[in-house]
A and B are shown apart, each in its own frame.
Chain A
Amino acid sequence: MTQVEDFRDVTVTDGSHNSPPKAWKWYDYFTFNIDHKVIGIQYLVTAFVFYLIGGLMAVAIRVELTTPDSDLLDPNLYNAFMTNHGTIMIFLWIVPSAIGGFGNYLIPLMVGARDMAFPRLNAIAFWLNPPAGALLLLSFLFGGSQSGWTAYPPLSLVTANTAQTLWILAIVLVGTSSILGSVNFVITILKLKVPSLRWEQLPLFCWAILATSVLALLSTPVLAAGLVLLLFDINFGTSFFKPEAGGNVVLYQHLFWFYSHPAVYLMILPIFGIMSEVIPVHARKPIFGYKAIAYSSLTICVVGLFVWVHHMFTSGTPPWMRMFFTISTLIVAVPTGVKIFGWVATLWGGKIRFTSAMLFAIGLLSMFVVGGLDGITLGTAPFDLHVHDTYYVVGHFHYVLFGGSVFGIYSGIYHWFPKITGRMTNETLGRIHFALTFVGTHLTFLPMHHLGLQGMPRRVAMYDPQFTTINQLCTVGAFVLAASVIPFTINMIWSWLNGAKAGDNPWNALTLEWTTSSPPLIENWEVLPVVTHGPYDYGMNPQNAGVNNDQTIPVT
C-alpha cells in the first residue's frame, strides 16, 4: 500500500494540473477536460447525437423515395438532406467515434500510458467537432449545401453559396481535428508504451490506429487544400475550378478523392482493430495470424493511397489511369481478405460466447464479405462504366460503412461499455438491437444493388416508376433500422444508471485496459502494469483459463 501512495504523490507533484479529483463529476464531461477517457466519451456521445440527426435525414430521404415523384421534400431540400446525411455520417459520426472515441479512450489504456502524449492538443481536437456540427446545422438556414458530400465544382460553385461556404468551413474544422488527433496517436503509441509491452504484444487495435493516423496525416491536408481552393472560388473570385475562366473541374476531383478514398480506410481500419480485439475475447481463442493482421493494416494504409481514381473512371481520366487504378484497387482486396480469413479462422476451435459485442462482430464479418465482393466488381473500370454513380454504389458503400463501420462501433460499445461505465449492458435489449439492425441492413441495402444494375442513378429525388416496388422495400428497411436505435438507446441509458456492476474484467480479457478498475481511475492505474503475457494468449496457460487478467505486479 505504501508503495502505491508514494506513486500517487509523485504523479500529483509531477502533473501539470493541480491535484486532480478522484473521479469526474457529470459536469466535467461538458468542459474542456484533458483526460483522454473524458475526451473519448465526449467524442462517442457527441458522435452518437449526430448519428441520430444524420439518421433522421436518411429517413426523410427514404420516405421521399417511396414514390417516384418528388412530393414530400422540395428537390433542393432533398439534395441538402442527401448531402448533409453523407457529410454528418462520415465526418461527425463514424470518423469521430471510431478514431476519436475508441482511439482516445483505449490507446493509452492499451499501451499502459496515463494519458495521451499531448492532452491539451487532444482536447482542442475534440472541441473543433461541435462547432463543425453547428456550422452544418446553421447552413440549413441558407438552404443547406446541396452538391453532395463530394461537392464537385461547378455545381458547388453555383448552388447555395453561403451554405456551401459553411460546409467547407465545417469540413476544414473536422479535418484539422483529425490531423491533431492523428499526431497525438502516433506519438502516444511510439513513445508512451510501457517498456514491458513488446511490439509483437501491441494490441491489434493499436496497430490499426497507427495505420489510420499515418493515412490521415498523409491525405487530410490534400482535402483541406482542395476545399480551401473551392472556398476561394466561391467567395474571392479565383477560378481554380471554373472552366469558363480556364479552371479545371477534374483537378478538384483528384484533390478530393486523394483524401476521400483513404477516408474510407480511416472509417474501416479502426473498426478492423475493434474486430481483432472483440473476436478473440469472446471466442476464447488467440487471434489467428497476429502478424498478418498487423501488417495487412499497414499494407492497406500504403496501397490505399494509390487507388483514388477508381471514383473517376467515367470522368475526364485517360485510359492508362483507368487501367492502373483498376489494378491497384483490386490489390487492396488481398490484405482485406487476409483479415477476414484471419477472423474466421479465429472462430475455429473457439468457445464462442454470443454476447451482444460478439453478435455485432460476427454480423460485421458476414456483412463485410458482401461489401468487399461487390466492391471488387466496382473497382474494375469496364464494369464500373455501367454502375458508377448508381444505387449499386450506394448499396456497396452502405454495406461497408453501415454493415462494416457502424456494426463495429456497436460491437465496440457493447464490448467496452463495462470498462467505460463499470456496468453491464442488458443482453436481451442487445439481442433485439442486433436482430433489428441485421435484418434492417440487408433489407435496406441489398435491393439497392439491383436498382443500380437496372438503371437507377444515385442522388435523385425523382425516379423512373419501374423502380417503385424495390424502393419501397428499401424504405421499409430504413424504418427497421430507425427502430433498431430505440432498444440501443434505452439499453445505454438504463444500463449506465442501473446495470449490474461489471467488475474490473467481466470478459476475462487479456489486454491492459482490463487490468484497471471499471471505470478506470483518472490516471488509469495506481501502479503502471507490467506485461506478463501476450494480448491474445487465450487457452495458453491451462491453470489460468477463466482466471482474471492479473498483470498489475507493482514496479519494483
Chain B
Amino acid sequence: MKQVPASLLTLLAGVMITLISFWVSQHHGLLPEQASAQAPLVDRFFNVMVTIATALFLIVQGAIVWFIIQFRQRAGDETDGVPIEGNFSLEILWTAIPAMIVIGLGIYSVDVYEQMGGLAPTHKHGLIAHQTAALVAAGDTAEPTIEPSPQYGIGAPAAESARAADLVVNVTGLQYAWLFNYPDSNVTTGELHVPLGKAVQLNLSAQDVIHSFWVPQFRLKQDALPGQATVLRFVATKIGTFPVVCAELCGGYHGSMRTQLIVHSPEDYDAWLAENQIAQSSDLQQKIAVTAEQSDAEMLAAYARAIDINAETLTQLHPNSL
C-alpha cells in the first residue's frame, strides 16, 4: 500500500481536532441554565476557552500517547535514543503560539468583563438618589436614603451606565442567612424577589463574617464584606426560582446558607411588593430605627418577625445572637 504523505495526515488531524473542539464547546452541557443578561456573555467566553482547551488537550495528550507507544523500549534494546537536545524554531513556535492565545484571551476577557459591567461598579451613583426621589413623587412614602457608594463589584455596562438601576435592594449576609431589604418600599424578606428584565442593583454588606452572594444561573458572584460596601448589578432574563448560595466559608453551617431568588413578571412583582408592604407596615418604625449600636440579637428580632422565623430557629442558625 502506498504511504500517505505526512503533510496530508497532519492536515487531516488538524481538521479533526478543530471539528471535535468546536463540537465539544457547543455540546459539553456543563453549565446550568442562563437566567441573567450576563450569563450568555460568560458562557460564550467559557465556550471559546473550552474550544481552545479541547484542541490543546487533544494535541498534547495525543502526542503523549503516540510517543509512549511509538518510542517504547523494544525487547533486548539497551541503547539510548536519538541525541536531540532541542530545536530553536520549534521552541520559539510553542512559546509564541501560547503567548498569542493568552494575550488574545486576556483582551477578550477585558471586553467581556466590560460588557458585564465589571469595569464600572461606581458609575453614576447620584442617580440612585434621583430615582428614589422619583419614586417619592409617585406617591411612595419612603424617605430618600443616600446609599454608600461601593467601589467594588459589578456595575452596569458602559452602554447603560448613565441609567440608574430600576430596583435597589440592600443585601445583608449573616451567619447563616441572607436578608433582603427594599429601601424604596420598606419591605424586608429572606428571599430575593426581582422583576424580569429590570436592572437590579444589590448593595451588599455583611453583619459578622465574609459571605459571598452567588446565583449560579446568573453566573455572578460578589463577596459581602463586613465594613466594606460592594455592589452587584444584573438584569434577570428568565422567570423562575433560582438558588442563592453563599460561596465564602462562613462557619459550620456555611453549606446551609442558601435561599432563593424569585424572578417575577413585572406585574407579579408589583403584586408581590404591594402585598408585602401591607403585611410589614405595622413594624415599620422598628426597621427604620435600626442602628449600628444594636447588638445582633436586637437587630435580628425585628427581622425575625418580618421574615417569619421564630426565635428558636434563629437561635439554631445564629447561636450567639439571642
Contacts and interface: CB of A to CB of B under 8 A. Distances in A.
Contacts of B72: 351-352, 354
Interface in A69-103: 70, 74-76, 78-79
Interface residues on B, range: 35 or more
A353 B228 contact: no
A323 interface: yes
B256 to A, nearest CB: 5
A314 B110 contact: no
A385 B256 contact: no
B216 A334 contact: no
A285 B251 contact: no
Contacts of B95: 292, 334, 337-338
B60 A389 contact: no
A121 interface: no
A340 interface: yes
Nearest to A336: B98
A441 interface: no
A79 B252 CA distance: 6
A316 B223 contact: yes
B106 A362 contact: no
Given A326-B109, A373-B57, A351 B73 contact: yes
Interface stretch (A146-154, A263-271, A481-489): A146-154
Interface in A474-532: none
Interface stretch (B112-120, B139-147, B191-199, B283-291): B112-120
A344 interface: yes
Contacts of B109: 323, 326, 380-383
A317 B256 CA distance: 27
Interface stretch (A219-227, A413-421, A459-467): A459-467
Nearest to A245: B227
A16 to B, nearest CB: 41
A1 interface: no
B102 interface: yes
Contact of A389 (B98, B248, B253, B256): B248
Interface stretch (A188-196, A228-236, A539-547): A539-547
Contact of B225 (A250, A326, A457): A250
A248 interface: yes
B105 to A, nearest CB: 6
B246 interface: yes
A337 to B, nearest CB: 4
Interface in B216-238: 216-217, 219-223, 225-228, 230
Interface in A376-404: 376-377, 380-383, 385-386, 388-390
Contacts of B119: 319, 323
Contact of B80 (A244, A348, A374, A545): A545
A285 B49 contact: no
Interface stretch (B10-18, B179-187, B205-213, B307-315): B205-213
A338 B94 contact: yes
Contacts of A283: 71, 81
Given A330-B102, A337-B98, A362-B64, A290 B85 contact: yes
A521 B289 CA distance: 79
Given A352-B68, A386-B216, A292 B86 contact: yes
B151 to A, nearest CB: 6
B255 to A, nearest CB: 3
Top 6 nearest A-B pairs (CB, nearest first) are: A243-B227, A460-B255, A455-B216, A539-B80, A75-B252, A350-B81
Interface of A: 70, 74-76, 78-79, 146-148, 150, 152, 154-155, 158-159, 243-244, 247-250, 283-292, 314-319, 322-323, 326-327, 330-331, 333-334, 337-338, 340-342, 344-345, 347-354, 362, 365-366, 369-370, 373-374, 376-377, 380-383, 385-386, 388-390, 449-450, 453-455, 457-464, 536-540, 545-546
Given A243-B227, A345-B87, A453-B32, 16 more contacts: A154-B226, A155-B210, A159-B251, A288-B85, A288-B87, A289-B86, A291-B86, A316-B228, A322-B118, A327-B103, A331-B99, A344-B63, A380-B105, A459-B254, A463-B255, A545-B79
27 contacts: A152-B209, A154-B209, A155-B249, A158-B208, A286-B84, A327-B103, A334-B102, A337-B95, A344-B67, A345-B87, A348-B84, A369-B61, A370-B57, A380-B106, A380-B109, A383-B109, A385-B116, A385-B221, A390-B247, A450-B30, A457-B214, A457-B255, A461-B252, A462-B253, A464-B258, A537-B83, A545-B80
